[in-house]
A and B are shown apart, each in its own frame.
Chain A
Amino acid sequence: MEKKLSEMKYEEKGRIKKIDKSLRAQIAGMGIREGKDVEMMTKQPMKGPVVVNIDRANTSLGLGLADKITVEVER
């Protein structure tokens, strides 16, 4: 099933399917690109950032960015 990264639930895992062109270069330095496995670690309240685990590293992303990333989630 496909959903936005920002819609993933705590501990949900998936693989990044599509990243909006406008932010590809911006987040590549964080090791985030299409084809990478992600796990949702924390979601902060009040439209706060999400924390995802990629390559055993926790990375926080603003909700606005997470909205523009599509993930194929497991199950």
Chain B
Amino acid sequence: MKKVLLMGQANVGKSVLFNRLAGAHVTESNYPGTTVDFAKGRMRLDHEDVEIIDVPGTFSLEPKDRAEEVAVKMLEDEKDATVVCIIDASKMERGLYLALEVIEKGYPVVVALNMWDVAKDGNIKVDAKKLEQILGVPVVPTVATRGEGLKELVLRMKKAAPAEVEKIMKNVGVKSGTHN
């Protein structure tokens, strides 16, 4: 079965999004050898059942604690998975850091700009279309708590494709090897 991993930092709405997508077909699991829990479920994607996994929140792919270690391991174990990177639209910079790390590993990625309403209320304007052009992966604004944008997110999961870091750097005008 195809797998979809939901990844993001803590408190960006991963689990809300997960519950919305997986509906009632949820099982709670323990990652082998750890006490770190994660939820697994199923959803329909393109007339096909896919497994959807709620990965523990992590700041980056350089793990600093047990839960982050599990998150990184889960990603490494699922080489063929599609990854939905969930970013808190009101905290773009740190969210993008993780998303870029996942893109760099070569996974097909879709970015969900969650808490779109919170960003809007805070007068934070994010140009999702432009970000999509720069990253070369689908970028979808969502409000998971109200179910907004989820339909589009699922539709665009099918279009998730690996992006090239070199291209992204070119798009933002960074020459490779010049950043530290």
Which residues of A come within 8 Å of B, CB atoms?
25-26, 28-31, 55-57
Contact = CB atoms under 8 A, between A and B. Distances in A.
A56 B94 contact: no
A30 B62 contact: no
B38 interface: no
Contact of A31 (B58, B62, B64, B93): B93
B91 A57 contact: yes
Contacts of B93: 31, 55
Given A29-B101, A31-B94, A55-B94, 17 more contacts: A25-B60, A25-B62, A26-B64, A29-B9, A29-B58, A29-B59, A29-B60, A29-B62, A29-B98, A30-B94, A31-B91, A31-B93, A31-B97, A55-B93, A56-B91, A56-B122, A57-B91
Contact of A30 (B59, B90, B122): B59
Contact of A29 (B90, B97, B122): B97
Interface string B47-61: 000000000001110
B118 to A, nearest CB: 10
A31 B95 CA distance: 8
B94 A29 contact: yes
Interface in B121-156: 122
Interface residues of B, number: 14
Chief secondary structure at chain A's binding surface: loop
A70 to B, nearest CB: 17
Nearest to B61: A29
Contact of A55 (B9, B60, B62, B91): B91
Interface in B8-35: 9
20 contacts: A25-B60, A25-B62, A28-B60, A28-B97, A29-B59, A29-B60, A29-B62, A29-B94, A29-B98, A29-B101, A30-B94, A31-B93, A31-B94, A31-B97, A55-B91, A55-B93, A55-B94, A56-B90, A56-B91, A57-B90
B33 to A, nearest CB: 24
Most buried by B among A25, A28, A29, A31: A29
B62 A57 contact: no
